[in-house]
Amino acid sequence: MTKVIWGRYEQAYEAIHNAILSGLTSAPEGKRVTRIEFEWNADKSLKTLKAFQNDELLFTLNFTWNPDGTLKIISRTE
C-alpha cells in the first residue's frame, strides 16, 4: 500500500484515515454509519467526530491536541 503524504494541518485527517483502517471507527455489529458530524474547538482544531445510523448515535471519536497543535490522542466512546 502506498504511503499517503500529509501536511501538518491535515494531521487530523490522517488520524481519521488511520483510525478507519485500524477498525477504531467500525460500526457496531449490525449497524452502519450513514452520517458523520464534526465539532470544532475555538482554535479550529477537530474536537469530536460523531457517527450516526440515521438519527441513532453509534459512537463518538474525541480528539486531544498537544499545546504545539499536534494531535495527541483519539479515543472512542459508545
Q: Is residue 29 part of a domain?
A: yes
pTM of this structure: 0.71
- Does a structural domain hold residue 5? no
Residue 2 lies in a domain: no
Question: 20 phi and psi, to 5 degrees?
Answer: -60, -45
What pLDDT, on a 0 to 100 scale, did the predictor assign at position 76?
92
Please check whether residue 54 lies inside any domain of the structure.
yes
- Asked whether residue 4 is assigned to any structural domain, the reply reads no
Do the domain assignments include residue 22?
Answer: yes
- Residue 78 to residue 61: CA distance in whole angstroms: 9
* Band of pLDDT at residue 37, cut at 50, 70 and 90: very high
What is the total count of domains within the chain?
1
What contacts 24+ positions apart, CB below 8 Å, involve 68-76? 69/8, 69/43, 69/45, 70/8, 70/11, 71/11, 71/12, 71/15, 74/15, 74/16, 74/19, 74/24, 76/24, 76/25
Domain that holds residue 24: 11-77
Domain contains 3: no
